[in-house]
Amino acid sequence: MTYDPLISRGVSSMLPAPKSYWHATHKVPTLPPLNKKVNTEYLVIGGGYTGLSAAITLAQAKQDVTLLDANSLGFGCAGRNGGFILSGSGRLSLSAIEDKWGHTIATGMQAEFDGAVDLLKKRITDFDMQVDLVEGPYLKLAHNVKQAEQLYATANRLASNFNVPSTPLSSKDLATRFDINGAYGGVELEGACLHPLKLASEYARVAKELGATLFYDSPAIRIEKQKTGFLVTTPSGSVLAKHILIATNAYTPKRFHDSVDNKQFPVQSSIFVTAPLNKEQRASTGLTTPMSFMDTRMMKYYYRVLPDGRLLFGGRGAVKGKDADNTSEKKRLYRAMVKSFPSLIGIAMDYFWSGWVSVSLDSMPRIFVNSEASSNNANRSAYSIGYAMGYCGSGVSFAAFAGQRLAQRMMGASDVDLSLPIYQSPLKTYPFPKARRLALHGLYQWAKIAER
Ligand SMILES: Cc1cc2nc3c(=O)[nH]c(=O)nc-3n(C[C@H](O)[C@H](O)[C@H](O)COP(=O)(O)OP(=O)(O)OC[C@H]3O[C@@H](n4cnc5c(N)ncnc54)[C@H](O)[C@@H]3O)c2cc1C
């Protein structure tokens, strides 16, 4: 059974772990459930990258922090993503941000996006995290001639306005290295990928070592405001907390808390992993070493060569959770792979899974704190509730950075540039929440014809 956040009132601890390649190649530690009443200063709800990173930041600042997750470690996106480390989040490029808010804000956002990648790499080094980090080229590929021109123009602008180096590749350049059907040009950037579930395990290890208390298989089912903070109830325990950090992202259940209800649209993305490519398949495709790709379609396909020589291929998933594992969904994604790599026809699909990404209405994530009451200290609130979410499918580096920023905001840190759009306002509310799925279905039908 697939969890569907637009239908379900909660993630059950009984739901099985995803059948991902990541789960097949790494066993997550078992963390205890909450079976008692607990008092804490900071309660983090959600134990993916956002929540674990917030817990790490709070623990590093010697704060009393407890974390609750509804299921096992890596149940959410942390155990389901492609493992691409990208500088950016949301759906807007730096150029689009510059067009909307001007150059100063765009460079401020660039500092946050790059800061997220730096934070990830720094933590990997500082805490000796074993996450199968691999460096290799990251190629953006144009799916038609117009998109190729657009890609080159954007790359030039990124180089001149934001100092982002990239190498343009014509369709001929691509043809000398790869046999990818329907690639009309591209740009090559530095890339890096990792094992996303190992990253979640390492974050949990570090959070615990620093003193955070972690409980898994413990869904928060109710958040009630009380005189002395918030009372959060789980099936077999409760937590009284002064501050709450909501880090449930796309897995946030229906009608969970006013601050996040109808503020994001959970959309499914699906991935399959093939059998290891044999020598001939590697030679015929050019997929010889670890590298990653993303195309320019609105419904993007993304793929990477894994360290063991398998191809991981991802794209949009089914509209509804209940259809996630339908054969038709698997076939649709497999067909897309074969269209790009005809020589791989017949290769076995060894793993297939899906996950929910959190799409915000204006394509920008948010890290926002709603203060519930002011204390005598003018700068701090006695009780506050905040959230970080809406990464639109780009969060391997940014979600952890957002978790850090959320924790910093909750602690009243002054080094966050609150003029940036991701901090200034809450997530926008979707106007016709019930029509979201209908609109998505329409968009997919349109894309089927327009983005063949
Ligand atoms: C298929 C797929 C591919 C992706 N590929 C990439 C990629 O290659 N690169 C990239 O940058 N990003 C990628 N992403 C996005 C990235 O994985 C996410 O942005 C990121 O993992 C979000 O982290 P998170 O901690 O906010 O959310 P999650 O990891 O989803 O964690 C949310 C947690 O909240 C818990 N929860 C929910 N409700 C409750 C409750 N009531 N009480 C307690 N806990 C609760 C859930 O159990 C879950 O563990 C991908 C996403 C998907 C789905």
Closest C-alpha among 363, 275, 300 to residue 82: 300
pLDDT, one tens digit per residue, over 126-154 is: 999 999 999 999 999 999 999 999 999 99
For residues 233 and 257, give the distance between their C-alpha atoms in angstroms, rounded to a whole number: 13
What are the backbone angles phi and psi of residue 44, rounded to the nearest 5°? -100, 125
Q: Is the pLDDT of residue 119 over 60?
A: yes
Instruction: State whether the beta carbon of 84 lies less than 6 angstroms from ligand 1.
Output: yes
Q: Is the pLDDT of residue 51 over 70?
A: yes
For the chain, percent of residues with pLDDT exceeding 90: 88
Binned at pLDDT 50, 70 and 90, residue 378 comes out as low
Mean pLDDT for all residues in the chain: 94
**Which pLDDT score is estimated for 215?**
98
**What is the residue type of 27?**
K
**Which pLDDT score is estimated for 452?**
67
Q: Pick the range with the lowest mean pLDDT from 75-79, 206-210, 403-407, 429-433.
A: 429-433
Residues in Cβ contact with 436 at an 8 Å cutoff, skipping those fewer than 6 apart: 6, 265, 430
**Which pLDDT score is estimated for 214?**
98
Query: DSSP labels for 70-81?
Result: SSSTTSSGGGTS
Q: Is the pLDDT of residue 92 over 80?
A: yes
- The CA 396 to ligand 1 mean position distance, Å, reads 9
Q: Among 66, 113, 248, which is best to mutate for testing ligand 1, by the most ligand atoms less than 8 A from CB?
A: 248
User: CA-CA distances (angstroms) from residue 321 to 11, 22, 256?
Assistant: 13, 20, 18
Q: Is the pLDDT of residue 82 over 70?
A: yes
Closest C-alpha among 401, 406, 424 to residue 115: 401
Q: Among 7, 73, 251, which is best to mutate for testing ligand 1, by the most ligand atoms less than 8 A from CB?
A: 251
Mean pLDDT of 171-182: 95
For helices 196-209 and 49-60, angle between their N-to-C axes, nearest 10 degrees: 30
Instruction: State whether the beta carbon of 47 lies less than 6 angstroms from ligand 1.
Output: yes
- The CA 394 to ligand 1 mean position distance, Å, reads 10
Count the residues in the chain. Answer: 452
Ligand 1 atom with minimal separation from the 52 CA: 25
Instruction: State whether the beta carbon of 82 lies less than 6 angstroms from ligand 1.
Output: yes
**β-bridge mates for residue 141, sequence order:** 186, 295
Mean pLDDT of 384-400: 96
For residues 90 and 403, give the distance between their C-alpha atoms in angstroms, rounded to a whole number: 15
Token pair of 133 as six digits: 């980090």
- The CA 81 to ligand 1 mean position distance, Å, reads 8
Structural domains in the chain, CATH included, are 21-81+197-264+361-435 (3.50.50.60), 134-193+266-358 (3.30.9.10)
Question: Higher model confidence: residue 374 or residue 296?
Answer: 296
**Which pLDDT score is estimated for 374?**
46
Mean pLDDT of 210-217: 98
Mean pLDDT of 183-194: 96
Instruction: State whether the beta carbon of 249 lies less than 6 angstroms from ligand 1.
Output: yes
Q: What is the DSSP letter of 358?
A: E
**Which pLDDT score is estimated for 312?**
98
Mean pLDDT of 146-168: 95
Mean pLDDT of 213-238: 96
Binned at pLDDT 50, 70 and 90, residue 440 comes out as confident
Strands 213-215 and 302-305 turn out to be unpaired
Instruction: State whether the beta carbon of 357 lies less than 6 angstroms from ligand 1.
Output: yes
For residues 258 and 287, give the distance between their C-alpha atoms in angstroms, rounded to a whole number: 47
First vs last C-alpha separation in the chain? 31
**Which pLDDT score is estimated for 445?**
86
Q: Is the pLDDT of residue 372 over 80?
A: no
Q: Is the pLDDT of residue 376 over 60?
A: no
For residues 390 and 252, give the distance between their C-alpha atoms in angstroms, rounded to a whole number: 11
Q: Is the pLDDT of residue 379 over 90?
A: no
Instruction: State whether the beta carbon of 66 lies less than 6 angstroms from ligand 1.
Output: no
CB contact at 8 A, 392 and 250: no
For residues 125 and 232, give the distance between their C-alpha atoms in angstroms, rounded to a whole number: 35
Q: Pick the range with the lowest mean pLDDT from 74-78, 98-102, 110-114, 320-324.
A: 320-324
Mean pLDDT of 99-124: 98
**Which pLDDT score is estimated for 41?**
97
- The CA 296 to ligand 1 mean position distance, Å, reads 23
**Which pLDDT score is estimated for 371?**
73
Q: Pick the range with the lowest mean pLDDT from 87-91, 112-116, 329-333, 435-439.
A: 435-439
Place of tokens 């940014």: 398
Q: Is the pLDDT of residue 227 over 80?
A: yes
For residues 173 and 283, give the distance between their C-alpha atoms in angstroms, rounded to a whole number: 17
Binned at pLDDT 50, 70 and 90, residue 175 comes out as very high
Token pair of 230 as six digits: 């918030």
**Which pLDDT score is estimated for 179?**
94
